Structure 1
Amino acid sequence: MANGWARDGAVQDQIDSTVEDGVSAARQRLAHSGPSLTHCEECDEPIPQARREAVPGVRLCIECQAKWDRRQQYDSGYNRRGSKDSQLR
């Protein structure tokens, strides 16, 4: 297949990399197994008993979890492929 300056298999490599990134991100979002922590592993504040019961394996307090969730919104969904218009210029 004629694909300009890209080497053979480059498109498949991009697809594979995007899938691997997605799987890695999903695995990080999964709840940890085992008992919940009594104190947040980020700020060392106590985690309320109700949160520990509601979220098995919880490791962060509500505030640190919210910060982590906001960071994840910006890190996800990166598209490595440029548009066809940018490739033609």
Structure 2
Amino acid sequence: MGDWFEQASALEQLEREHAIKAQRARPRPSGPSRIHCLDCEKPIPENRRALGGIVRCTPCESISEQGNRR
């Protein structure tokens, strides 16, 4: 029974590492950030804008990313 659990744990770790590598390989936005969200027009917090190239607030970016996965 221990072998099964160790294999599942190793597979989970491998999948996590692949997901992290894929996320890091994505191109980062660059350039100036918008002051207001492209989708909802609410202000984007300054600490988020400081990342550069930000065009959406966090909730709208989450929705956008979920739509891109389908």
Fold conserved between structures, TM > 0.5? yes
**Pair 1:68-2:67 in alignment:** no
Amino acid at match of 2:63: K
CA RMSD of aligned residues (A): 2.0
Number of residue pairs the alignment of both structures matches: 46
TM-score, normalised with respect to structure 2: 0.57
Give the TM-score of the pair, scaled to structure 1: 0.46
Match of 1:45 in 2: 42
- Return the index of the structure with the highest Cα Rg: 1
Q: Which 4+ stretches in 1 moved above 2 angstroms?
A: none
Amino acid in structure 2 at the alignment position of 1:52: R
Match of 1:56 among 52, 58, 66: 52
Considering fraction of residues, name the structure with more helix. Answer: 2
Structure 2 alignment gaps of length 5 or more: 1-25
Residue 36 of structure 1 pairs with residue 36 of structure 2: no
Percent of aligned positions that are identical: 36
Structure 1: runs of 5 or more not aligned: 1-26, 75-89
